[in-house]
Amino acid sequence: MQLEALRGRVAGKNKDDVEEAIAMVEALAVQLTHREGELIQEKAEVKRLANFLKQASEDAKKHVDEERAFARAEIENARAAVQRVEVALQGNRMWKN
């Protein structure tokens, strides 16, 4: 609205200059609005990607924790088996002596 008021107050060559300046400002306003829309879309996409990566990271951490627990259980089972074998070997030595 202020640009329209300015347009009405000037005449002659100045009027042409003002008209051109107003047209440029209006074109820039359209570009700015378009760019703002693009940035809003990009922001939403970045948020979606961040949430996806956060979930993937949490899933990976959970998987690593599960595998670590499984590995610990396997190690404990192996230690118990070794201990049973050692006990059995010691028992065999006692019978031989």
What integer is the mean pLDDT of 28-43? 97
Structure tokens at 57: 């990271």
Distance between CA 21 and CA 4 in Å, rounded?
Answer: 12
Residue bearing the bigger pLDDT, 28 or 13: 28
pLDDT of 97 higher than 80: no
Decide: 17 and 6 in contact? Cβ < 8 Å. no
pLDDT of 66 higher than 90: yes
| Residue 20 belongs to domain spanning | 2-96
CB atoms within 10 A of CB 22: 14
Give the pLDDT confidence of 71-82 residue by residue, as tens digits: 999 999 999 999
Decide: 22 and 6 in contact? Cβ < 8 Å. yes
Distance between CA 26 and CA 33 in Å, rounded?
Answer: 11
User: What pLDDT score does 92 carry?
Assistant: 75
Give residue 95's pLDDT band: very low, low, confident or very high (50, 70, 90): confident
